[in-house]
Structures are given as C-alpha cells and as structure tokens.
Amino acid sequence: MGLFMGSERSRHSSAGSRHDAAARSELGRLSWPISDHLLDWSRPEPSFWAATAPLERPGTRLTEEMVVDVAVIGGGYTGLSTALSLASDYRVQTAVIEAGDIGWGASGRNGGIVMLDATKLSYGEMFRKVGADETARYFRSQVEAVRLLRGVISAEAIECDAVNRPGITVATSEKRFEALRAEAALLRGTIGVDAEILTDGAVREQYIDSPAVFGGLRVAPGMALHPLKLAIGLARACERHGVQLYVRSPVVKWHREDDEHLLRTPSGLIRARWVVLATNAFTPDKLYAPFNGRVAPVISNIAVTRPLDEAERDACNLNDPAPMIDDRNLLRYFRMVEGGRLLLGMRSSDDGGAEGAIRSREEIQAAIAELLPPLSGIALDYFWRGPIATTMRRTPGIGRLETDPSVLYGFGYHGNGVNTAIWTGAVLAQLIAEGDATLESVPKLLRGLPPRFPLPSLRNRITGAAMKYYGFKDRMSK
C-alpha cells in the first residue's frame, strides 16, 4: 500500500462560517451511551492530574479546510501514538483531531497504572478461544507494549513521573490467594511471563499493610506514571515531528467522497486518504456506521486523599509507589502518588451522572476504610470519573475495516490500556505504511472488529446489570 511520502498536500481555505451551522446540527445527531454530564468537552475534569500538570496544552482549534494523508480521530494515547509513529518513523503527513483538549478523556484521567492484560478474559477463556500458543503471543505483546512505552518516554524526553515497578495483584481472601498461586504457575510456565507469588507477610512488608490482603502476585514489567503529563508529552512530541494537532474540534460528520474521507468539525474540514478511529469509550454512534454499537462504556471513579503524614504511611506501610490492584471482578486499584497521597479507584454501575458520582465517592471512602483502617474517614482532596471502553468479546479491537481498508481502528482496553494503546498506535502506523502483512503481527485475541452489542440502546442497563452481578460474585466468593 503506497503513501505520499514527503508530499505536500495541505490546502488552506476559509471555511469556518460555511461549515459552522451545518456541522453543529450534525453534532446533535450523534449519540453516546453515557450521561451528558461526561460529554462537556469544554470542561476539564477536576482531577489530581489536572492540578499537577502543565497548564499550557498543545494544539489549536480547526478553523479551516485541510488536506492530509492520514487523519486520526481522538487525541488520546492511541491517536497520539499513531500520529507520532507515522510522522517520526514514516514521514507521513498526519493530523490529529480531538473533541476536547489533549488528555481530556481517559488518557488524561486514568490511574496511571501500567500492568499486563487489557482484556476481561480468564486464562482458561483465552486458551479455549485461541489456544496456549496464541495466549502466550498475546502476553508477549503486552510485555513489548510496556517496553515500547518506556522507549517512547525516553526517546522523546517526556517528563511524566514514571517509575518502573512490577504490578501487584493482591488477594482478598485465602481462597483467592490459592487462585493467584495457580495463575502464577500458569504465567511462568505455559505463558512465559515473569510472575512471582507473594505471601501475605511479603505483601504487608513490601507494599501495603492491610487486614484485607491475603497475599499477592507480582508480575513484571509494570510502571506507574502521571497519565496527563504523558498525554501532553506525546502531543508535544507529535508537534515536534510535524503532526498537526487540532483540539476543541469534535468530528461531527464523516463521509466518503471519491477516494477521500471528509471529516467535518463545527468550524473546519479535513480531507484525508486514511482515517484512524481512536476514540475508545467516547466512540459515538451515528458517526460512521461500521462502528455503531461496538463499545459499551463502564464508569470508573478515582479519588486522591490529602497528603498522608509519616505516621499514617508507616501504619499502612505505604512507602512503595508500585501499581496495585485487587483480584475482584469489580477490581479496585491503588497506588501512592506525588506528595504522599493515596490514589484509589473502582468501577460503578451508573451511567456517569451526578447522582452516581455522589454514591461512588462514598463507596471509595468505604473502600479505603476497609483496605486501610488507619485511614478511615480521611479527606479526599480530589475525586473524578470517566468511562472505560468494554467490548462484546471482552478484548480490544485492532485492525482495518474489511469493507473499507482505508479506515483503521484501535479501542476497547477495558480500563488497562496505557501500554496497550501506545503499542496499538505503533501497529496502526505500520499497517498504513507497510500494508496488511503487519496485521498478522497482532495477536488473534485482539485482531479485528469486535461484534456489536445486541440492543445497543440498552447498553447502559446491560452493563449496569453486569456490574451488579460481578459485585454479587465478589461478595459470594470470599
């Protein structure tokens, strides 16, 4: 598949007023299966990350007509990684179009936890779907993704408070610890991942002293970082390599015209030969028909406490910045962040509205009290939330449309996509520059478009019911 390597195809014209009225009416036609409360692109999420990141954000609003080789819809990790690789590795003229500011979505508000596995499948389910060899291949890609992330951070000198630490999964009961022990043997033996079982004493001594912990599993490689600083750093790297970044410019209409894609925003237009969809949980229905109903958002909530004093940190042995999760179906994730604060996040069953936010904040407070009794009632200085992307098959989807090979996509990281999204972007860039042979390098678990959800209009109710079911399973399995 050929490219306009080094070509000059940009065309500028005054298009703002001509497109504005029609494009704004198109915006109202689109639909997202989440609360409007989470769709105000002009309002930054009041997170700890936003409070501790640079105020100046890269990018400008699209106010004209442009022609590029590749247009990337979505300015998160997937989109920025795709654009960075296209520009730096292949010299392809690329534009990124983002509805909010850089890092407005999950890439700027996640927990900053880098651990393996962006699916919601058990190892047994993976083996049954694709076999042991393909499962091992998938995990090798996950390890490669962490190494790629580290390499990008180093090569582009991105300051994102990154620390290299193995990921820790803690057992919440003796029964679950035995399940983790079996997982460790499987990861080390059949799959070939660096995994080590930890007794409850080892977890309490090295990572977290909690009466709710019954041992753990340490898996390498892993990382913890500042997610918004990473997103901003990737965007600045893109600009250095010649990528055009357009922010506060939601794509409201997308259609084909001969061999070009036309992407309309409220005040501009981009024409491109290739389009990459990288909108993850914010993928709207009715923008481009092949992607309708492919994603079901699930709300994730995060809080950061006031700074802990030395006595509090010592009482809970919170002196290692390692990323940690527990083994629940509705997992909780936690880590120490800058300033000696505790971050804790968890899923919820609502659609992202204001009432759910109040309830979720209370649930996080209760979770902290259960996990770390010395911190019961501690003040939460920051609380924020947003959707993660789940798919019908419970794995990410990476590839190109069979019906239109000039459209590529990567989404569905199930709340654990920092490294996977960076890797996906590099794969998508290769697919555009080097052709379909690259798709064979994508593990079968991730390859191709996930099926649509049945009854897409009821996704919120279906996922809400699933969250309640998983919560019930968690309570029954202790």
Q: Where are the domains of the chain?
A: 16-111+228-292+392-453
Q: Who contacts 186 (Cβ-Cβ below 8 Å, separation ≥6)?
A: 123
Q: Which residue has the tokens 């995990």?
A: 139
Half-sphere exposure of 68 (CA within 13 A, CB side): 28
CB burial of residue 41 (10 Å; 0-12, 13-18, 19+):
middle
Give the pLDDT score at 10: 40
Radius of gyration from C-alpha coordinates of the chain = 22
Length of the chain: 478
- Give the closest residue to 395 by CA, choosing from 415, 380, 376, 379: 415
60 vs 73: CA distance, rounded Å: 15
pTM over 0.85: yes
The region, left, alpha or beta by phi > 0 then psi within -120 to 50, assigned to residue 117 is: left
Which residue pairs, CB below 8 angstroms and at least 24 apart, start in 360-364?
A: 360/299, 360/301, 360/385, 361/301, 361/303, 363/301, 364/301, 364/302, 364/303
Half-sphere exposure of 20 (CA within 13 A, CB side): 8
191-222 pLDDT, tens digit each: 999 999 999 999 999 999 999 999 999 999 99
Give the pLDDT score at 7: 36
Specify whether the CB–CB gap between 1 and 432 falls below 8 A.
yes
Rounded (5°) CA angle 95-101-105:
100
Specify whether the CB–CB gap between 304 and 48 falls below 8 A.
yes
362-390 pLDDT, tens digit each: 999 999 999 999 999 999 999 999 999 99
- 195: phi then psi, degrees, rounded to nearest 5: -135, 140
- Interstrand relation of 223-224 and 113-114 (parallel, antiparallel or unpaired): antiparallel
The β-bridge partners of 397 are 411
CB count within 10 Å of CB 353 equals: 14
Specify whether the CB–CB gap between 91 and 5 falls below 8 A.
yes
Tell me how far apart the 2 most distant CA atoms of the chain are, in Å. 67
Give the pLDDT score at 263: 98
416 vs 116: CA distance, rounded Å: 8
Distances in Å between the alpha carbon of 40 and those of 43, 317, 415?
Answer: 6, 39, 21
Query: SS3 of 118, please?
Result: coil
Give the pLDDT score at 188: 94
Residue spans of alpha helices (H) in 274-353: 310-316
**Helix or strand (DSSP H, E) at 17:** helix 16-27
222 vs 207: CA distance, rounded Å: 14
Please list the ranges in the chain whose pLDDT falls under 50: 1-20
Is 16-111+228-292+392-453 in CATH node 3.50.50.60? yes
CB burial of residue 289 (10 Å; 0-12, 13-18, 19+):
exposed
